[in-house]
Amino acid sequence: MALRETRKYSQGSALGGVNPDLASERQTPSFSVEKLTALLDGGEENTRIRRAVVEAIESDPVFSRENQYFQSQNEKYEAAVRKAVHLQKKVREMGWTENGPEFKYIYRALSGEVALLLHTIFMRSISVLGSDKQIAKWIPLAMQYQLIGSYAQTELGHGTYLQGLETTAVFDIATQEFILNTPQISAMKWWPGDMGRSATHTVVFAQLYVRGKCYGVHPFIVQIRSLWDHSLCPGITAGDIGPKMSFEHIDNGYLMLQNVRVSRENMLSKFCEVRPDGTYVRRGSQQINYLTMTAVRVALISHEAVIPLMKACTIAIRYSVVRRQSKLKPGEEEAKILDFQTQQEKLLPHLAAAYAFHFINNYLQDLFNRGYEEIQRENFNMLPELHAFSSGFKAIVTQYCASAVEVCLRACGGHGYSSLSGLPSLCTRILASCIYEGENTVLFLQTARFLIKCFIAASAGHPVPPSVTYLAAVKPGKCPAKSKFDFLSPDIYTQAYQHAAVRLISSTAAKLQALIQSGVKKHDAWNECTVQLVQAVKAHCHYITVKNFAETVERLETKGGIQQIMKHLCHLFALHGIFSNTGVFLHDGHISGAQMDMVTASYLDLLAVIRKDAVPLVDAFDFTDKTLNSALGSYDGQVYQRLYEWAQKSPTNTQMNPAYEKYLKPLLHKKLSKL
């Protein structure tokens, strides 16, 4: 029943049915694909709602992605704006509301290829950082698209380091206005989405000055284009920053301000306010300005890292059971490339990681929701932990997924390099996620500051957040594993990860303290430890991910085979991490050389186990053919026919060749008489 339902939901095939090599992979799964899909969605009702949203979007021709790979930048931008405008009509028609269950599935259904996404960030900034009065004024206007918002934080010369932003906002007591300026070229806002051609308003982050005193970075609502003719407002210089590696449908822009005046009420003032007499008032934590960015980082882990990895795994694994190459045994037909252990080792650990990161994303969402509830009560105690975790996990998940998607591309050989495979666009898109909303190395180091503070506090017996109480735990002795089967125990490998994280954090903290005590200035000592600090943060995030995966699996129901296959994936993810980072675990002898051989044996055994369920495991991600938009990854596995048919649609095959008349014809005809 489950397979029929999944098949019905898929796009279907007009190319002669399902490829027998792919169909055979779906015959005897060890688990219910439909139940696993429901688990990923958070319940059967959520699956039903998501599928209904996808069906509504994909059945509407305005949202079609056909021939997308052949479009120019302008065509992609225009299509994205058309989709964004039409989406508002669709939302009203379907009765979807922002707080309704359908809303969170729209972005996935559109594969993110829609304009005006920063409009949501604009509204979120106002909702989180604005006063009740500001929310009442601006949110209805934004909801009704009487204006189009953007979010202007990053500058040409500054990105993640908010304190270094150079844009200024000087309070003029006489006129009750802020005067915003771009003092030099490095202060120009650069990269904001929808800024280049679309936005009419933006939230500008600028250094606040009152009576000559700087109060740090604050957010201001600024109108940049006329609501009548879309012309730039006085004092505004703005435009598109030009071609990029990906996201060609988004008009990332630049913005310069010259004596641009906005009302005192335009400074978002839920937590900070400048009163009419110039008195500056702060309520709550100075870090509150990081809250919007924290929310964005948590959201992008799913949309811009985990889902692209799931798509890449789906494409590469389906292709790997259709593609036959070389012979495993003399006299037999060419083998499915997924039957080769090397291909399994390329792809299956990344499939396990997709599940691990899905569950860690749920963990982060819960952490953020709890933290936001506390902040609403003006309790800011969780803010440092929220900021640290969103930074560290944004960095490690996007970094891992970017590498994994590239592996999926290369695992598909030459066909993976074709844009029609869908993999190059996933590859370039996910690479951007390592940079925007905080460059990953910078984010790792922000998390490191939190971990070092917590380690020092825990060592002194002071309370620390629940997520890092392990830093105060008694250090374990040697790993007790006696055979390869012992490494299939979550207690064994989770303890190994905890040991590695504590060792790296404590040793780096000790080095830092020793440098400072020897007379090295704090900032110089910190810089001398940054490589090891990044390593320590990665170990911490890896430990939390493994621990969370194991705890999640333990809570699952045993029926339907779901818990068993998730156990296999959890083991594979954990052992792959040890196998790939042997030095970290062998360093102080917690795991011995002989035990590392046991890890390797169990790890390789798991590849063969998960190989049997590889296709059902990617089918459970439940991507339609239209969502994947891949000639290699379609549900029916008709790879070669689809590649040929899609290639025929290329303008290079349907239009005259201009180079022939200009260059090739004269070249050929010049020698023709001799022939």
Angstrom distances, CA of residue 472 to CA of 469, 498, 546, 590: 6, 11, 19, 18
| Residues 267, 188 contacting (CB under 8 angstroms) | no
- Pairwise CA distance, residues 433 & 428, whole Å: 9
Catalytic residue among 437, 551, 554, 557: 437
DSSP secondary structure code for residue 159 in this structure: S
Beta-carbon contacts of residue 482 (< 8 Å; ≥ 6 apart): none
- Pairwise CA distance, residues 153 & 409, whole Å: 33
DSSP secondary structure code for residue 56 in this structure: H
DSSP secondary structure of 206-232: EEEEETTEEEEEEEEEEE-B-TTT-PB
CA dihedral over 605, 607, 608, 612, signed as positive or negative: positive
DSSP secondary structure of 593-606: HHHHHHHHHHHHHH
- Pairwise CA distance, residues 60 & 663, whole Å: 43
Which residues on adjacent β-strands are paired with residue 529?
Answer: none
Beta-carbon contacts of residue 384 (< 8 Å; ≥ 6 apart): 287, 450
Longest dimension (CA), the chain: 94
Q: Which residue, 666, 604, 649, is CA-closest to 67?
A: 649
The answer to whether 557 is a known catalytic residue is no
Q: Which residue, 239, 243, 154, 270, is CA-closest to 203?
A: 154
The phi and psi torsions of 273 (rounded to 5 degrees) equal -150, 145
Q: Which helix (H) or strand (E) holds 180?
A: strand 177-181
CA dihedral over 513, 519, 520, 522, signed as positive or negative: positive
Please identify every residue annotated as catalytic.
437
